[in-house]
Structure 1
Amino acid sequence: MCGRYATTRDSGALSQLFEAYDDTDGRLRPDWNVAPTKPVPVVRVDDKGTRALSLARWGLLPPWATSPSAGARMINARAETVATSRAYATPFARRRCLVPADGWYEWTRTDGGKQPYYLTRTDGDVLALAGIWSVWRGPDGPWLTCSVLTTSAVGALADVHDRMPVLLPPQRWGRWLAPTADPTALLGADEDWLAGLEIRPVGPAVGNVRNDGPELTARVPGVPLPRRRPSTVETADEMTLF
């Protein structure tokens, strides 16, 4: 599950990091509490074969969707079934993207309630979440929409949640975006790269989407790291989405 994350780098920094031209028209804003249906930066290959930094609505809308509200339920695509899913198979085969993030949030159940954790790189490097994108044509014109791929959590991350986003190290970025690449070969975890992740306990304010700011990612002292796998899958009931 990846239902909340932070992405705070500006378009200039992201364009440079991912060697992409800026197609955001100055609309990208830092967000420490990204929630479903918000506009998010994605790196994709455009119709001319050029790498572009674009804004997409988080929650993929297949062409047959009758309402944009359907996207709130399609923020994640399971790596195990994405290649055969009616909604996701074509974007997975033809329209893959990178979703830049500083880190993502997960919740675990404790005796005192629910404890949020922020998962991020210890060195501050950008995370590239494996994504797919599609264009939905609504009554007010075309919308670029996207989903994040998730997979079974590994190592210490599995103590926080049983799912995690598919994280692509820099050496996989080009192949993931290449139209002719076999994307299934890129979904496996890079254990060495994952070793650079930090599991950071944070405060409960992130649970409300109306809250935003760097303080949401601040470490809460005295909170232990999770020591066991959660017995149930946490979903949107941990958060106030809207």
Structure 2
Amino acid sequence: MCGRFTLTTTLDTAALRFKVRTGLEEADYKPRYNIAPTQAVIVVGDDEQRYLTRMRWGLVPSWAKDPAIGNRMINARAETVATKRAFRAALRKRRCLVVADGFYEWQKRDRTKQPFRIVLKNGEPFGFAGLWDTWRSPEGEEVKSCTIITVDANELLRPIHDRMPAILTREAEAVWLDPAIQEPARLLPLLTPYPSDEMECHAVDAWVNNPAHETPACVAPRKDYPPNRT
């Protein structure tokens, strides 16, 4: 699964990486070191032109009676995303990229869990394959929300966790965001484990376990833990 991630880069860097008009104000943006479910995340969408916007993490389907359902919909498994009621329409018509530059996974130990941060070796931001929807309350309140698709873990992640977020290559991003493409047969093959040799990970302090902790200390490598040791 993917339950916590980071976006520590500048807004301009993210916009340049994804070749988008921001749609966001720099004054409203700040680096994030411990993004948690139900919080606002930055996503890339495509409506004839790419754009950056904010959405709530935890998909609330348009047909939901209670928006609290989104608390349980932070991830969607690639294996069932085309068939589950909550996701199948979004797969065809409402796809996005959730922007990140790292994510956390916890490795189970005897009595504890060791958190690791996983990043790309080139240090660039990347996009998780995501889906979004719009929910409206009886009073007319509108909530745009999203979910992150997960796949089997690659070789790097497997000792830590059996799942990982679906990170798309730049070529796959273009297909994923293309609103003219709606066939699951063209979309599902894009959802594969990202190559291990292009990623790296390091242990971080348990400080990150608390989602209220939102400081650079969250991403700092543990000095007493060898790099890339899992």
TM-score by length of 1: 0.86
1-structure distance, mates of 2:217, 2:149: 27
Amino acid at match of 1:43: V
* 8 Å contact from structure 1 (residues 28, 41) kept in 2: no
Partner of 1:35: 36
Partner of 1:60: 59
2-structure distance, mates of 1:8, 1:140: 34
Partner of 1:127: 126
Percent identity between the aligned chains?
Answer: 37
2-structure distance, mates of 1:8, 1:141: 30
2-structure distance, mates of 1:147, 1:45: 16
Partner of 2:135: 136
Partner of 2:117: 118
Superposed displacement of residue 86, structure 1: 0.1
* 8 Å contact from structure 1 (residues 5, 104) kept in 2: yes
| Selected match of 1:189 from 189, 193, 196 | 193
Q: Give the superposed CA RMSD.
A: 1.6
Amino acid at match of 1:123: N
* 8 Å contact from structure 2 (residues 77, 151) kept in 1: yes
Amino acid at match of 1:15: A
* 8 Å contact from structure 1 (residues 129, 148) kept in 2: yes
After the TM superposition, which residues 29-108 of structure 1 pair with which residues of structure 2 at under 5 Å, given as runs? 29-46=30-47, 49-108=48-107
Superposed displacement of residue 190, structure 1: 4.6
Amino acid at match of 1:42: V
2-structure distance, mates of 1:116, 1:17: 27
- Farther off after superposition, 86-95 or 24-33: 24-33
CA deviation digits over 1:18-45, x for unaligned, max 9? Answer: 1111223453332111000100000011
Superposed displacement of residue 9, structure 1: 2.5
Amino acid at match of 2:98: V
1-structure distance, mates of 2:206, 2:158: 21
* 8 Å contact from structure 1 (residues 106, 117) kept in 2: yes
Q: Secondary structure at the match of 1:20?
A: coil
Q: Secondary structure at the match of 1:87?
A: helix
2-structure distance, mates of 1:186, 1:147: 16
- Farther off after superposition, 35-44 or 105-114: 105-114
2-structure distance, mates of 1:197, 1:88: 28
Superposed displacement of residue 218, structure 1: 0.7
After the TM superposition, which residues 188-207 of structure 1 pair with which residues of structure 2 at under 5 Å, given as runs? 188-191=192-195, 194-207=196-209
* 8 Å contact from structure 1 (residues 108, 114) kept in 2: yes
Relative to structure 1, the CA distance from residue 112 to residue 84 in structure 2 (aligned partners, 3 Å threshold; closer, same or farther) is: closer
Q: Secondary structure at the match of 1:36?
A: coil
TM-score by length of 2: 0.91
Amino acid at match of 1:34: I
1-structure distance, mates of 2:66, 2:212: 24
Partner of 1:240: none
Which runs of 5 or more residues in structure 2 are unaligned?
Answer: none
Superposed displacement of residue 101, structure 1: 0.6
Partner of 1:235: none
Relative to structure 1, the CA distance from residue 196 to residue 63 in structure 2 (aligned partners, 3 Å threshold; closer, same or farther) is: same
Amino acid at match of 2:30: R
Q: Secondary structure at the match of 1:158?
A: coil
Superposed displacement of residue 149, structure 1: 0.2
Superposed displacement of residue 68, structure 1: 2.5
Partner of 1:237: none
Q: Secondary structure at the match of 2:115?
A: strand
Matched, 1:173 2:148: no
Partner of 1:229: none
Count of matched residue pairs:
222
Partner of 1:238: none
* 8 Å contact from structure 1 (residues 78, 150) kept in 2: yes
2-structure distance, mates of 1:28, 1:132: 22
2-structure distance, mates of 1:163, 1:74: 16
Partner of 1:19: 19
1-structure distance, mates of 2:112, 2:193: 31
